[in-house]
Amino acid sequence: MRDRMVELLQEHFELNLYEARAYVALVGFGVLTPAELASVSEVPAPRTYDVLRSLEKKGFAMSQPGKVNKYRPVHPENVLDKFIDEWQERIKGELEEKKKAKEELIKLMMPLLETEMPKYGVERVWVVRGIRNARLKTKEMFEDVKDKILLADDGYISMSLEKDLIKAVNRGVKAQVVFTPSLLEKMRDSKIVEYYKDGKLELKVVDEIELPMLICDDEVFFALEDMAARYFNYETQVWIKDYRVRTLFESKFNEYWKKGKKA
């Protein structure tokens, strides 16, 4: 139980190991001198003065001056509530600063973005590793697509980026989606299925999708087969923007579409 209290103080209330041990000891014994703290806790004797002064500075302890200073704890409920209140205010301030920094960075970077294509040309191939990066790239594809989405999916994209796909459809983008039966079962109450029933997008089901893919206009996104990487959420995905590659993948998608059954 003592170790758990020390762990929580370190993890959530910004005390180091010795400070957390000292505070738990003060709560348990009430009033301690530095020498007494060293004898009842695992705080080394040479460190007790510094640790107790640090606790006092952080608001976790109070001192009673005398021939030998004594320290007592501030009640946990009071000090922890105060810490949380101050933390919330600090986070609000940091959040506002980050928002301002984001706006300033975007404003400063816009000229660079606008001149990137004539200076360096257009990137045609990217390797994307990890679930987070894959999500960012596919989200970007849904935001940029103008005419057509072809999605053959066995789970990840539809479940993670459903809102982004729906936004594209709402902009007038045509969408054809192929699910596996297991994914359809999971998505029964989704907006994708709702839009299919309302005739806003097309949806079919095939028993197996050997090559899951997302095609947005001339952009193609697919994962390389690597079960170990998939297990550790570090799967390698490839993004290609080339009409010839898109044509090859679209022919594979059309095979799924022909074999597919209505949902």
For residues 113 and 138, the answer to whether their CB atoms sit within 8 Å is: no
H or E stretch covering 216: strand 213-216
Which tokens is 235 given? 């799967």
Identity of the highest mean pLDDT range in 24-38, 105-119, 157-171: 24-38
Q: Where are the alpha helices (DSSP H) in the chain?
A: 2-13, 17-29, 34-40, 48-58, 76-120, 131-144, 156-160, 162-170, 181-186, 191-197, 227-231, 243-259
CATH fold for domain 125-262: Endonuclease; Chain A (3.30.870)
Task: Tell me: pLDDT of 1 over 70.
Answer: yes
In this structure, the number of other CB atoms found within 10 A of the CB of residue 229 comes to: 15
Q: What is the pLDDT of residue 236?
A: 78
Question: What is the CATH number that goes with domain 2-79?
Answer: 1.10.10.10
DSSP state of 171: T
For residues 2 and 24, the answer to whether their CB atoms sit within 8 Å is: yes
Q: In this predicted structure, which of 78-87, 150-159, 161-170, 223-232 has the lowest mean pLDDT?
A: 223-232
85, 79, 83: which is closest to 26 by C-alpha? 79
| pLDDT band of 58, cuts 50, 70, 90 | very high
| pLDDT band of 80, cuts 50, 70, 90 | very high
Q: What is the pLDDT of residue 155?
A: 75
Task: Tell me: pLDDT of 111 over 60.
Answer: yes
Task: Tell me: pLDDT of 106 over 80.
Answer: yes
Q: What is the pLDDT of residue 228?
A: 54
Task: Tell me: pLDDT of 216 over 60.
Answer: yes
For residues 177 and 202, the answer to whether their CB atoms sit within 8 Å is: yes
Residues of the chain with CATH 1.10.10.10: 2-79
Q: Give the three-class secondary structure for 119.
A: helix
Residues of the chain with CATH 3.30.870.10: 125-262
